[in-house]
Amino acid sequence: MVSAILGYSDVLVGTQYGDEGKGKTVDKKTKSGMYGIVARYNGGKNAGHTLEEKGRKIVLHQVPSAIFSRDIQLYIGSGCALDLEKLEREIAEITSFGIDLSNRLNISDKALITCPHHIMLDAELGKELGTTGSGMGPAYADRAMRAEGSRLKHLRFADLLDNPSMAIEVIVENAMDRGLDSRERIEAKAHKILEAAKNLEQYVPRDPLWLLSQVNNGENVLFEGAQATLLDVTHGTVPFVTASHTIAGNAYVGGDLPPKYHRKTFGVAKAIMSRVGNGPFVSEFGGSRSEHYCAEERGKRYTKAYERTNYNVEELLKSDDPFHTGIALRILGEEYGATTGRPRRLGMLDLVALKYAVDLNGIDELHLTKVDRLVDFSRTQLPGIPIVVAYEVDGRNIDYLPTSTDFLKTAKPIIEYRPHIKEDLSGMRNFSDLPPEAKELIRYIETSVGCKISSIGVGPEREQYIDL
Ligand code: IMP
């Protein structure tokens, strides 16, 4: 008997609150030629992965990030919740970039479909949490509800393809139950969703074990987590989290592959952290003032254009108010939400949270992004690069991430300052080029969190990174 040649799978996850630069990291990893497939296992259009090629920018929401590596297959697993009309538009935009997905994109027919009532409910109920309004919470909740009497509470892609009239009834009646809109409008919307499903059918392999069969043919898979560890529905800063499991273990549930193929776990961390939406963020510059400023309704006003026109970065950098430091770093680092355009809240690199993410996901190697931006601290009044090494809660120092959000909200950061980096790192491509302060900082982080940093990002372009 001839034994099958098996492939393997790796998982890449965000270690903070999202927007760590996962898309670009996936893009870099796939250039190695090691992977035949990049797969998603959670989330939906709430994700925003920005990729740049030759000065052109594209923001992906639902399609996996490896679009530029044209020989790589893309897979969207059953753990994702899809907005089909938006997915169709995203594919059209990718096609306009000269990238043909027709024989590359594969979507699980078990993937959840976000329906009009999910989006409407999220717009209402997600306000307090600061969600992206993509319907994630209500969609995953309906999956857990399964059915109400004989009517399904949620739909999977297969339902739309195999039983369209039932699917229309489910979409319409679930919305009518909530009294969310007129029957006429919901019916029109339901037909549009069905039409999108038909147009996307070409991407749906009907074998539920399609990914497994590829791996059994020797293909290697890179699972790409959406959102990030601290937004995990159970392990993040509950309730200010997304509605799916973001952590590496879920790749083998939402990604439709048995865990026996797992090889390595990669984590992506950003040198200056960010968070969009509400919720605790111990290392935030400007604390609750920044959270309030960046919050949903007001955040819409403080756009990139607004902040660039109305603030003087040099003056902000000279201020000893951390709230001003945060705004300056946001403008310099262009930290605005890829999905919502909201200003991202910025904070110091938090090693307590990073160690938690390393341990929880079992991360083997870290990629640290935006290391070039650390130079901005040398223009501030701060005595060095601020790093959070522990928390003070109720007069006690702790070195772990507390589970209770109320507890976490009262935590004060204990800061250590590392020597400033003064040189521009953006043109550097070798570890040996880096100034001693940058090398020392990398070693310091590795030792503190107990994980190797295998590469760093030094700018927004695809080739701006250094393998260590
Ligand atoms: P939801 O995922 O839309 O339900 O939003 C829940 C929380 O996760 C909110 O704080 C969002 O801002 C945050 N979130 C969701 N997706 C992303 C992402 O891709 N990057 C960063 N934050 C995200």
- The three-point CA angle 382-386-390 to 5° equals 140
Least confident of 67-76, 215-224, 301-310, 445-454: 301-310
Q: Assess whether the previous peptide bond of 259 is cis (omega < 30° from 0).
A: no
CB 77, CB 211: distance < 8 Å: yes
Q: What is the pLDDT of residues 185-224, one digit of tens each?
A: 999 999 999 999 999 999 999 999 999 999 999 999 999 9
Cα–Cα distance measured from residue 14 to residue 354, given in angstroms and rounded to the nearest whole number: 10
For residue 260, the SS3 value is helix
Against a cut of 0.85, is the pTM above it? yes
Q: Which residue has the higher pLDDT, 249 or 50?
A: 249
Residue 364 bears catalytic tag: no
Q: What is the pLDDT of residues 236-272, one digit of tens each?
A: 999 999 999 999 999 999 999 999 999 999 999 999 9
Locate the DSSP E strands across 194-271: 221-224, 262-270
Residue with tokens 């169709």: 88
Cα–Cα distance measured from residue 59 to residue 2, given in angstroms and rounded to the nearest whole number: 44
Cα–Cα distance measured from residue 114 to residue 132, given in angstroms and rounded to the nearest whole number: 14
Asked if the model's pLDDT at residue 1 lies above 60, the reply is no
Residue with tokens 């992906």: 60
Residue with tokens 């089909």: 84
Residue type, 162: D
The mean pLDDT value for 19-24 works out to 92
Evaluate: CB of 227 within 6 angstroms of ligand 1.
Answer: yes
Among 314, 315, 305, 444, residue whose Cα is nearest residue 388: 444
Q: Which listed residue (10, 27, 49, 372) is catalytic?
A: 49
Residue 404: predicted pLDDT: 94
Residue with tokens 């699917």: 167
Asked if the model's pLDDT at residue 302 lies above 90, the reply is no
**Percent of the chain, pLDDT > 90?**
86
Residue 211: predicted pLDDT: 98
Asked if the model's pLDDT at residue 300 lies above 80, the reply is no
Evaluate: CB of 18 within 6 angstroms of ligand 1.
Answer: yes
Residue identifier of the C-alpha nearest atom 9 of ligand 1 = 131
Cα–Cα distance measured from residue 132 to residue 76, given in angstroms and rounded to the nearest whole number: 20
- Helices (H) and strands (E) in the chain — how many of each? 17, 22
How many angstroms separate the Cα of 47 from the Cα of each of 20, 41, 74, 463? 12, 12, 16, 23
Asked if the model's pLDDT at residue 106 lies above 70, the reply is yes
Residue 43 CA, closest ligand 1 atom number: 2
Q: How far is the CA of 347 from the centre of ligand 1 (A)?
A: 17
Evaluate: CB of 242 within 6 angstroms of ligand 1.
Answer: yes
CB 38, CB 75: distance < 8 Å: yes
Q: What is the pLDDT of residues 310-351, one digit of tens each?
A: 999 999 999 999 999 999 999 999 999 876 778 999 999 999
Evaluate: CB of 47 within 6 angstroms of ligand 1.
Answer: yes
- The three-point CA angle 304-307-311 to 5° equals 155
Evaluate: CB of 340 within 6 angstroms of ligand 1.
Answer: no
From the CA atom positions of the chain, what is the Rg in Å? 22
Asked if the model's pLDDT at residue 5 lies above 70, the reply is no
**Pocket residue to mutate for ligand 1, from 62, 63, 131, 235, most atoms within 8 A of Cβ:** 131
Instruction: Kindly give, in sequence order, each residue whose CB lies less than 8 Å from that of residue 361, ignoring residues fewer than 6 positions away.
Output: 11, 13, 15, 229, 247, 248, 249, 265, 267
Provide the pLDDT confidence category of residue 463 given band limits of 50, 70 and 90: confident
How many angstroms separate the Cα of 60 from the Cα of each of 22, 57, 323, 453? 11, 10, 31, 26
Residue 47: predicted pLDDT: 87
**Percent of the chain, pLDDT > 70?**
98
Cα–Cα distance measured from residue 345 to residue 358, given in angstroms and rounded to the nearest whole number: 22
Q: Computed from CA positions of residues 389, 390, 395, 396, in that sequence, does the dihedral angle turn out positive or negative?
A: negative
Q: How far is the CA of 240 from the centre of ligand 1 (A)?
A: 9
In this structure, what DSSP letter does residue 173 have? H
What are the tokens at 357? 């993410």
Cα–Cα distance measured from residue 178 to residue 121, given in angstroms and rounded to the nearest whole number: 9
Q: How far is the CA of 466 from the centre of ligand 1 (A)?
A: 29
Among 253, 259, 251, 290, residue whose Cα is nearest residue 274: 290
Round the average pLDDT of the chain to a whole number and report it.
94
Q: How far is the CA of 233 from the centre of ligand 1 (A)?
A: 11
Residue identifier of the C-alpha nearest atom 21 of ligand 1 = 18
Cα–Cα distance measured from residue 105 to residue 113, given in angstroms and rounded to the nearest whole number: 17
Residue 19 bears catalytic tag: yes
Provide the pLDDT confidence category of residue 50 given band limits of 50, 70 and 90: confident
Q: What is the pLDDT of residues 150-177, one digit of tens each?
A: 999 999 999 999 999 999 999 999 999 9
Residue 52: predicted pLDDT: 76
Least confident of 126-135, 275-284, 428-437: 126-135
Asked if the model's pLDDT at residue 112 lies above 60, the reply is yes
Cα–Cα distance measured from residue 258 to residue 265, given in angstroms and rounded to the nearest whole number: 15
Q: How far is the CA of 134 from the centre of ligand 1 (A)?
A: 9
Cα–Cα distance measured from residue 220 to residue 73, given in angstroms and rounded to the nearest whole number: 10
Evaluate: CB of 232 within 6 angstroms of ligand 1.
Answer: no
Residue 180: predicted pLDDT: 82
Evaluate: CB of 276 within 6 angstroms of ligand 1.
Answer: yes
Cα–Cα distance measured from residue 445 to residue 464, given in angstroms and rounded to the nearest whole number: 21
The mean pLDDT value for 429-442 works out to 97
Residues in the chain: 468
Kindly report the backbone phi and psi dihedral angles of residue 441, in degrees, each rounded to the nearest multiple of 5, phi listed first. Answer: -65, -40
Residue 35: predicted pLDDT: 97
Residue 135: predicted pLDDT: 97
Provide the pLDDT confidence category of residue 67 given band limits of 50, 70 and 90: very high
Residue 303: predicted pLDDT: 87
Q: Indicate the helix (H) or strand (E) that contains 52.
A: strand 49-53
Among 113, 136, 142, residue whose Cα is nearest residue 123: 136
- b/e 299-321 (16+ beta carbons within 10 angstroms → b): beebeeeebeeebebeebbeeee
Residue 297: predicted pLDDT: 65
